[in-house]
Amino acid sequence: MVKHEKPAASASKKDACDTIHRLGRELHAALFPEEYDHMYDSVTEAKDRLRGINPMNAEYVEKTNALRTQLINVEPDAFTDGTLAWVLEKLRQGDEAELREIMASRAREALEAKHRRERARQHLQTPSWLDQRIDGMLSGETFTNDGQDRTDPHVIAFRVLGELYTVNLYGNNKLEFFRQIRRLLAGRSEAEYQDLYRHVMNEWMDVYDY
């Protein structure tokens, strides 16, 4: 009987270890995402790079290091093996709930920060402020190519959406686009406005390869 139990116990132990390692790597990626940045960009980071914005700027590094030291006493450039070992040890001690609460807390903080930024943006970017910003942009060379007819509705619409991306990169600019385009190209049908929006969205997707 004993001879038959040993292989079964060994297999069960191996399965438990495999489960902990799979879960550990999943939680490690969520808790220490900066250790995976060298492998790939997120969609947002890739778009930032196309716009000439470095997602791993000094502010990012400072914030990341602060988050790391909140979790574990590691050097900013600690190797992945050390942080993964810490996660695995927490799981072996039965502290999965603690790790998930850290993840949930970070998600709540990120959402609250997003809401604060949006409130600040709305406070600053009043309709009159945006009107002045768009009008100022249209009087210059921004978002134009040589030989373009600046009175062409498609050119105007393209430039308007480009400026809205500039002032509100991650927000929903659709409603403001229609407000601006109705102001600048008054008297057209709703179907024309919708066609302009679809056209310039496709143009911007081509520009940044969305």
Q: Which residue has the higher pLDDT, 43 or 98?
A: 98
Range among 64-73, 135-144, 163-172 with highest mean pLDDT value:
135-144
> Token pair 């490690």 is at which residue?
28
Which band of pLDDT confidence, cut at 50, 70 and 90, is reported for residue 122? confident
State the amino acid at position 35 in one-letter form: E
Q: Which residue has the higher pLDDT, 49 or 3?
A: 49
Q: What is the sign, positive or negative, of the torsion defined by CA atoms of 166, 171, 174, 177?
A: negative
Q: Could you give the C-alpha distances from 40 to 11, 27, 31, 44, 59, in angstroms and in order?
A: 35, 18, 16, 11, 20
Biggest CA–CA distance in the chain, Å, is 89
Distance from C-alpha of 78 to C-alpha of 73, rounded to nearest angstrom: 10
Residue 68 and residue 76 in contact, taking contact as beta carbons nearer than 8 Å: yes
pLDDT given for residue 32 in this prediction? 83
Average pLDDT over residues 14-42: 79
> Token pair 């695995």 is at which residue?
88
Asked if pLDDT for residue 92 goes beyond 90, the answer is yes
Residue 143 and residue 157 in contact, taking contact as beta carbons nearer than 8 Å: no
State the amino acid at position 177 in one-letter form: F
pLDDT digits (tens, 9 = 90+) for 34-47: 777 654 555 566 66
State the amino acid at position 29 in one-letter form: A
Q: What is the dihedral of CA 68, 73, 77, 82, to 10 degrees?
A: -100
Q: Which two tokens stand for residue 209?
A: 């390869």
pLDDT given for residue 115 in this prediction? 85
Average pLDDT over residues 111-133: 87
Average pLDDT over residues 119-127: 84
Distance from C-alpha of 138 to C-alpha of 135, rounded to nearest angstrom: 5
157 CB neighbour count, 10 Å cutoff = 23
